[in-house]
Structure 1
Amino acid sequence: MKLALPLAVLLTHAATSVLGAFQLTSTSSAYTVDTDGGLVFSVSRTTGDILTLVYNSVDYQSKEGKWTHINSGLGTSTVTAATVGSDYIKITIVSAANPVTQYYVAKKGDSVIYMGTYITGEVSPGELRWLARLDKTNLPTSIRDPASDNTGGVAIEGSDVFLADGTTRCKFYSSDRFIDDLVHTVSGPGVYISLVMPGTAYETSSGGPFMRDINNQETSTQQEFTFYMNSGHLRTETWRMGLKGPYAAVFSSTGPASGTLDTSFFSGLDILGYVPQSGRGRVTGTASGVPSGFEAVIAWSNTENQYWTRASTSGSYTSPYMKPGTYTMKLYKQELLVATQTVTVTVGGSTTSNIASTEVVAASPVFRIGEFDGQPFEFKNGDKFLGMHPSDTRMSAWGGNYTVGVSTAADFPMALFAKTGGPATIKFMATSTAKRTLRIATTLSFKTGRPSVVINGAWTGADPGAPVLIDSRGVTRGGYRGYGESYEWDVPAGTLVVGENTLVVGVTGSGDAGFLSANYIVDAIELY
């Protein structure tokens, strides 16, 4: 049932229709900003909630009594607004209950809300997101239609995985890797609303370049549109404090926004935690040793900041402009960590730091299934799980048989579960009974899931011990990035036979039934 709008919101909404130039106006309940670019928005003076989002005379804010804000609302806050010079309007929201200061900035002539979120501590309820609750009537098209649309769905796991029209849906299926997630957009007739995370918007988030988080959830009436800055979803790092952003909501009638957005004017707006380009430095150099056909990604991090870039095909790279400090520098082969070193960044400086892969590759393995690259996409269901629950009828059967020299990686399951789907059986030929090494690399574990291995029904590999527990569901919500454990077993001489051999790969670990039992996601397997 739709809730009646408060009188203050009705009055604010009515006021927007009479504005028509770059200006800030106010009532006792709200500030209203006209950007003079077709966008008019209003902000509550008591909570900092955005109450209206009027673009080209249409209000895209949901009218169901839940607004656009940080998390699910900051509650009672000190809200101030001011015109800065002739070209900017800044609204500042200081939460009374949380260590959060939120900024909304309008630039004359733009149809953009520029934003920054400054935190000095962890935020209740344990995540940090900017959430726009938008009217689906006018914005029917989302990022991942219909994978993140729970309209008419019945919950099948927790309160966030649904079955609707015979397919599985989940808000987590709207995610993109941070390194790729510069822009995401919802749209409707004649309108595109994009969240843009330009430049170093993720520098004080956590998780690195391959972290993924919720971008969008659809209900029957709303588009819930989000920029996740920190969360407990497959969390592998502690939270970072400071300024999140700048980021922006861009309104357009011609198409999605680009990922390049100039926010350098923040330097003149007294934004807490903002560091201009002049207060930063860069790192340049060459990344080597990553084989052709694999992307080379370089990342830098310390307890305060994180950054990343891609190397060119020749291996050369230039970092983003980084805050000064000492960083751990990492080289990834696709998403597999292959080198680590330390580098120091100075203000105004350009540090040269070449980095080379230290990965050791078995020259002539008995067999190798998949690529050691930190990703499971080449395996069975690896092309589907980012947007489907493992129980989805569109998935291929889990577990199964693999014959070296006959099967392809797409025949081997990308994930194995302790209490459903069964193990994976590998048939392979050996020409010697000599001692060998078995290696299984994983990208993510759940409920302490790790591989169990049996060769020829006679030799059982020792339990490698429980991996570090990540207290978050993974594969059932389209996640695959964790700590990336790799396990090795010495296979004694005489274990293999000349001719055909059988390796059964299963799961050791605790957990519930079905797909929430102990499980892990496979990166690659080899015997050498």
Structure 2
Amino acid sequence: MSGSPSPAVTRRAFVAGTAAVAGSAALAGPLAGTAVAAGFGWRDDGTDYVVDTGAALVFKVSKSTGDLTSLVYKGTEYQGYGGKNSHIESGLGSSTVTLSQSGSTILVSVTHGTLRHYYAARAGENHIYLWTNKADSSVSATRFILRVRAGLFLNDEPDSYTYTTSTIEASDVFAKSDGQTRSKHYSKVRVVDYDYTGWSAGGVGLWIVRSNHEKASGGPFYRSLLRHQSADGGGLYEILYYGENQTEPERYGLQGPYVIAFTDGGAPPAALYPGTLTTPWADSLGIPGYVPASSRGKVAGVGIAGRDTAHPYTVALANPSAQYWGPARSSDGYFSIGGVLPGTYTLTVYKGELAVYTTSVSVSAGGTTTLNTITIPSTNDPANASAIWRIGDWNGTPSGFKNAGLMTYAHPSDVRAAPWTGNVVIGSGTETSAFPCYLWKDVNSGIIVYFKLTAAQAAAAHTLRIGVTTAYANGRPQITVNDWTSPIPSPPAQPGTRSLTVGSYRGNNHTFAYSVPASAWLTDTSRYNQLRINVVSGSGTTSYLSAGTSIDAIDLLA
């Protein structure tokens, strides 16, 4: 991908997330050597610290606020739109800003109350390494936003709104004239799915390579905004904590590095990725809270038994101070998670996004905690229960349901969405694809599932289960089977913010179980029983902001 991109991608923006993509990019001198590059250095112009990396990148940091005020690559200014700089949150304001140089590294340090923020430049590299240390809630610092001038990277991707001004929800979801929707929330990907975000155009790639998110919250499957594009300019984000559809409290401490990276149009070098980046050169910079690789540990498991090999498995570590994750090998479930801060963690094994096993592990500095084969009890996976019929798959996501693929990058009102209404017949072969991934009180509550039972089945009581992945405004299912109606279930703990309309189905997985008496079933085996699913709640507003929920699976146990 070196050199100028083909015309097909010259004005096209994209998000990529795999090492394979970046590994194919032949980039000149990624992570240049330790020799100090010609021109490398800094100066004080009275207002800003001006840092020249000695490659093709010169940037400025305000001496009064710590804002990134200029970002010049190969002579072109990329920073800023609407008179705004690039910065933490919406800008810190008055701050103490200092600069130091140690050999081939220049470090700019920003202090604002209890918050500290850092920019580091390495000689000969077209990158800026950033760390942010939020010590407590006294300072609002949930993101770093890189503001990019208008016209440099135009796109009409799901996370843009360049070509539309019709607002359909809040002030951040828009509709085009053709009925397609756009929003900065529609990134499509989970944290585990991407290593970097940005754009490529005219032989220049501008990216933010994410950090390892050890001080972020929400785990490997969390979704939040990554970038936006409008007529005014573009924004690239590193989200340190984002309260929307959040399942965990905020973590505090030093997060990073995350990297602003320029390339010749290709992907950023894989050596910058959170799974591969090493920063021994930063060990001696004196950044408070920085923990070198030698003081971190590892957790490794020889395998996981009891898996459903049709699904990917992920192993995650979490405690109030940090979070980590890694994939389990498909052949045997082997996993290895490195770079872990010392401490005791809850280890969770996920089938897809559904937690099916937990235990506790301790990690020591410089050590490896080796676990023998983990065996997932059969009862931990709801898919192992014998069912008369089942809609969907128990994997912690609404995958396979109607509109599920679209909802991570579009609003439910999008013209591309199939009708949200429509009933389902068990045995039709389209039970899952015909059932909507989301149910709302004001949109499609009351969907009916038709099914037949044998005489023996109709003579017994059965448990009906509905698994959900999140809910909005306490929306939860109440069922009616023929003439029998279930009690209204209590709402489980779920995030209190928007979710279903901003590209996220991820909340707290929960299973509702309904004990249906034998008297509820039809005794005529030639007739269809009717299961009606209603969404109940005393909260929410109307339409797609009425109370709602996302479906994982529905089944009637034998």
What's the TM-score once normalised by structure 1's chain length? 0.92
Q: Does 1:145 align with 2:164?
A: no
**Distance in 1 between the 2:150 and 2:444 partners?**
38
Runs of 4 or more consecutive aligned structure 1 residues displaced over 6 Å after TM superposition: none
1:293 corresponding residue in structure 2: 310
2:216 to 202, 205, 213: 205
CA contact (8 A) 1:175 1:215 kept: no
1:298-325 CA-partner distances (Å, limit 9, x unpaired): 0001110100000111210111221111
Q: Distance in 2 between matches of 1:262 and 1:447?
A: 43
Distance of 1:150 and 1:234 partners within structure 2 = 26
Residues 215 and 175 of structure 1: is their aligned pair in 2 closer, same or farther, counting only changes over 3 Å? farther
Whether 2:192 is the aligned partner of 1:179: answer yes
Asked whether the equivalents of residues 370 and 523 of structure 1 are also in contact (C-alpha less than 8 Å), the reply is yes
Report the equivalent of 2:143. Answer: 129
What is aligned with 1:508?
536
User: Deviation per CA, 1:369-415, whole angstroms, max 9, x where unpaired?
Assistant: 00010111210010111111111121111131111111231100000
Q: State which of 314, 317, 321 in structure 2 corresponds to 1:304.
A: 321
Determine whether 1:438 maps to 2:464: yes
Q: Choose which of 125, 129, 140 in structure 2 pairs with 1:110.
A: 125
Q: Which amino acid aligns with 1:436?
A: H
In structure 1, the gaps of 5 or more residues are: 1-18
Q: What is the CA-CA distance between 1:150 and the residue it aligns to?
A: 4.8
The answer on whether the counterparts of 1:150 and 1:164 sit within 8 Å (CA) in structure 2 is no
Q: What is the alpha-carbon distance in structure 1 between the residues aligned to residue 162 and residue 441 of structure 2? A: 28
Aligned: 1:49 with 2:67: yes
For 1:284, the equivalent position in structure 2 comes to: 300
What is the one-letter code of the residue matched to 1:503?
L
Q: What residue identity is the alignment partner of 2:116?
A: T
Tell me if the contact between 2:475 and 2:491 (Cα under 8 Å) persists in the aligned partners.
yes
Q: Of 90, 104, 110, which aligns to 1:93?
A: 110
Whether the 8 Å contact between 1:287 and 1:296 is mirrored in structure 2 is no
Q: Distance in 2 between matches of 1:79 and 1:151?
A: 39
8 Å CA contact 1:88–1:105 kept in 2: the answer is: yes
> After superposition, where does 1:207-226 map in structure 2 within 5 Å?
207-226=218-237
Decide whether the 8 Å contact of 1:196 with 1:247 is kept in 2. Answer: yes
In 2, the alpha carbon distance for the partners of 1:439 and 1:123 equals: 44
Paired residues for 1:378-457 under 5 Å: 378-406=400-428, 407-431=430-454, 432-433=457-458, 434-456=460-482
- Give 1:469 shift: 4.4
Contact 1:151–1:218 at 8 Å: present in 2 too? no
8 Å contact kept, 2:445–2:533: no
Once the two structures are superposed, residues 125-150 of structure 1 have per-residue CA deviations (whole angstroms, 9 ceiling, x without a partner) of: 5x510101101312224xx7144325
**What letter matches 2:143 in structure 1?**
R
Taking the aligned partners of 2:461 and 2:431, their CA distance within structure 1 comes to 26
What's the secondary structure of 2:282's corresponding residue? helix
The answer (yes or no) to whether the contact 2:72–2:78 under 8 Å persists in 1 is: yes
Amino acid aligned to 1:116: W
The residue identity in structure 2 corresponding to 1:409 is T
Of residues 455, 458, 461 in structure 1, which corresponds to 2:486?
461
Q: Identity of counterpart residues, as a percentage? A: 36
- Match of 2:501, SS? helix
Q: Determine if contact 2:158/2:181 at 8 Å carries over to the other structure.
A: no
In structure 2, the gaps of 5 or more residues are 1-36
Q: CA deviation at 1:438?
A: 0.3
Contact residue 147 and residue 388 of structure 1 kept, 8 A: no
Q: Distance in 2 between matches of 1:356 and 1:334?
A: 17
Deviation of 1:363 after TM superposition, in Å, equals: 4.5
Rounded to whole Å, the distance in 1 between the matches of 2:319 and 2:252 is 12
* Residues 1:486 and 2:511 are matched in the alignment: yes
Tell me the number of residue pairs that the alignment of Structure 1 and Structure 2 aligns: 501
- Alignment partner of 1:327: what SS? strand
Counterpart of 1:9 in structure 2 is: none
CA contact (8 A) 1:284 1:319 kept: yes
Given residue 239 of structure 1, which amino acid in structure 2 is its aligned partner?
E
CA distance in 2, matches of 1:217, 1:278: 38
The equivalent of 1:75 in structure 2 is 93
Paired with 2:109 and 2:411, the residues of 1 have a C-alpha distance of 41
Distance 1:388 1:123 in 2: 35
**Structure 1 residues 444 and 469 mapped into 2: Cα distance closer, same or farther (>3 Å)?**
closer
- Asked whether 1:239 is paired with 2:265, we answer no
Alignment partners' CA distance in 2, 1:463 and 1:419: 17
Distance 1:178 1:442 in 2: 21
Q: Indicate the residue corresponding to 1:357 in structure 2.
A: 376
- Partner secondary structure for residue 515 of structure 1: helix
Residue deviations 1:61-82, cap 9 Å, x none? 1253101110111110000011
Instruction: State the distance in 2 between where 1:63 and 1:364 align.
Output: 58
Q: CA deviation at 1:168?
A: 1.2
Q: Distance in 2 between matches of 1:368 and 1:421?
A: 20
Are 2:317 and 2:324, in contact at CA under 8 Å, matched by a contact in 1? yes
Alpha-carbon contact 1:148-1:172 (below 8 Å) kept: no
In the TM superposition, what whole-angstrom CA distance separates every residue of 1:414-460 from its partner, at most 9, and x where no partner exists?
Answer: 0000012343211111112111110000000010100111111x111
Which residue in the other structure is 1:5 paired with?
none
Tell me if structure 2 keeps the 8 A contact 1:185–1:256: no
> 1:123 & 1:411 partners in 2: Cα distance?
48
Moved more, 294-303 or 279-288: 279-288
Between the aligned partners of 2:234 and 2:146, the Cα distance in structure 1 is 8
TM-score between both structures, scaled by the size of structure 2: 0.87
Post-superposition shift, 1:215?
Answer: 0.4
- What is the deviation of 1:21? 0.5
The equivalent residue for 2:176 is 164
Instruction: State the alpha-carbon separation in 1 of the partners of residues 158 and 355 from structure 2.
Output: 34
Flag the 1:124–1:402 CA change in 2: closer, same or farther, 3 A: farther
For residues 135-177 of structure 1, what are the alpha-carbon distances to aligned partners after superposition, in whole Å with 9 as ceiling and x for unaligned? 1312224xx7144325432221111111123321111102521
Letter in 2 for 1:211: Y
Deviates more, 1:434-443 or 1:149-158: 149-158
Counterparts of 1:512 and 1:177 in 2: how far apart (Å)?
28
Given residue 506 of structure 1, which amino acid in structure 2 is its aligned partner?
N
